[in-house]
């Protein structure tokens, strides 16, 4: 299966701190990869580097074989909007907008007219078990529902890769299980790859592969399923 996203020899330093000490990682088509490891080990730095949010000091990031880590800021942010989707722990929805407009936002930022963007956004509500909640504002949603709206928003522009940093960090175990099941299955069905940071082994077990990070290096790499 072909590689969608790859990082080679990634090094990231913050002053005296080496957050990434030379990481190689490849993410294949429809692959889901969980990044695990102790606090401060470099998980978020790795995710942000692969997502073009942080630039590495050394190494390369390639999207479908093309280098992206050295793009100018404008091209890089356009690439993030078009090719990547993001799900964070919490607080990512705009409180004043109904759920369907929150989902439509990435399309509207790309210039899709509002009505058309909302039409496309609505199609993601059923697969994520959100039917009937299109008009609710984030404050009127449960934590699990809000995360599912955030997943819909990450997928609406049909990205190549979805990045999630502790997407279930603020949820109880049962809700977390439900959200992660939908995140992995709907992302896979959409054709996107998934790169997710989690400290929860039950959550990571829903992914195809688990990458263990320790002191900015990969300490273990396991594969659950053979694609």
Is 198 a binding residue for ligand ATP by CB under 6 A? The answer is: no
**Which of residues 104 and 171 has its CB atom nearest to ligand ATP in the complex?**
171
Burial profile 37-61: b = 16 or more Cβ within 10 angstroms, e = fewer: beeebbbbbbbbbbbbbbebeebeb
74 binds, among Mg ion, ligand ATP, none (CB under 5 to 8 A by kind): none
Tell me which stretch binds ligand ATP (CB under 6 A): 37-45, 62-70, 123-131, 150-158: 37-45
Q: How far is the CB of 160 from Mg ion (least distance, A)?
A: 23
Contacts of 218 (CB under 8 A, 6+ apart): 23, 24, 25, 211, 212
The sign of the CA dihedral 96, 97, 103, 105 is negative
Among 44, 89, 92, 175, the residue binding Mg ion under the rule CB under 5 A is 44
Name residues contacting ligand ATP, limited to 4-33 (CB under 6 A).
14, 17, 19
Q: How far is the CB of 165 from Mg ion (least distance, A)?
A: 6
Name residues contacting Mg ion, limited to 116-135 (CB under 5 A).
none
Q: How far is the CB of 61 from ligand ATP (least distance, A)?
A: 16
Binding mask 42-61 for ligand ATP (x = CB under 6 A): xxxx----------------
Distance (Å) of CA 205 to CA 173, 180, 191: 14, 10, 20
The β-bridge relationship of strands 217-223 and 209-214 is: antiparallel
What residues line the site for ligand ATP (CB under 6 A)? 14, 17, 19, 37, 39-45
Residue ranges that bind Mg ion, judged by CB under 5 A: 44
């Amino acid at each position: 299966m072909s590689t969608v996203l790859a990082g080679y020899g990634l090094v990231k330093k913050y002053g005296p701190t080496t957050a990434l000490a030379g990481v190689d990682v490849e993410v294949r088509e429809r692959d889901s990869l969980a990044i695990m490891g102790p606090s401060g080990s470099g998980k978020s730095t790795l995710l942000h580097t692969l997502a073009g949010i942080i630039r590495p000091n050394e190494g390369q990031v390639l999207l479908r074989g093309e280098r992206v880590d050295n793009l100018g800021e404008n091209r890089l942010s356009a690439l993030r909007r078009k090719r990547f989707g993001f799900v964070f722990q919490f607080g990512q929805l705009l409180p004043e907008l109904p759920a369907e407009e929150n989902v439509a936002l990435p399309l509207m930022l790309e210039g899709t007219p509002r009505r058309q963007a909302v039409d496309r956004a609505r199609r993601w509500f059923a697969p994520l078990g959100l039917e009937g909640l299109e008009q609710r504002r984030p404050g009127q949603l449960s934590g699990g529902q809000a995360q599912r709206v955030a997943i819909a928003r990450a997928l609406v522009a049909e990205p190549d890769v979805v990045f999630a940093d502790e997407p279930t960090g603020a949820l109880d175990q049962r809700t977390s299980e439900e959200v992660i099941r939908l995140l992995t299955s709907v992302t896979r069905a959409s054709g996107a790859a998934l790169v997710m940071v989690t400290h929860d082994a039950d959550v990571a077990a829903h992914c195809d592969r688990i990458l263990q990070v320790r002191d900015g290096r990969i300490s273990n790499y396991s594969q659950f399923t053979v694609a």
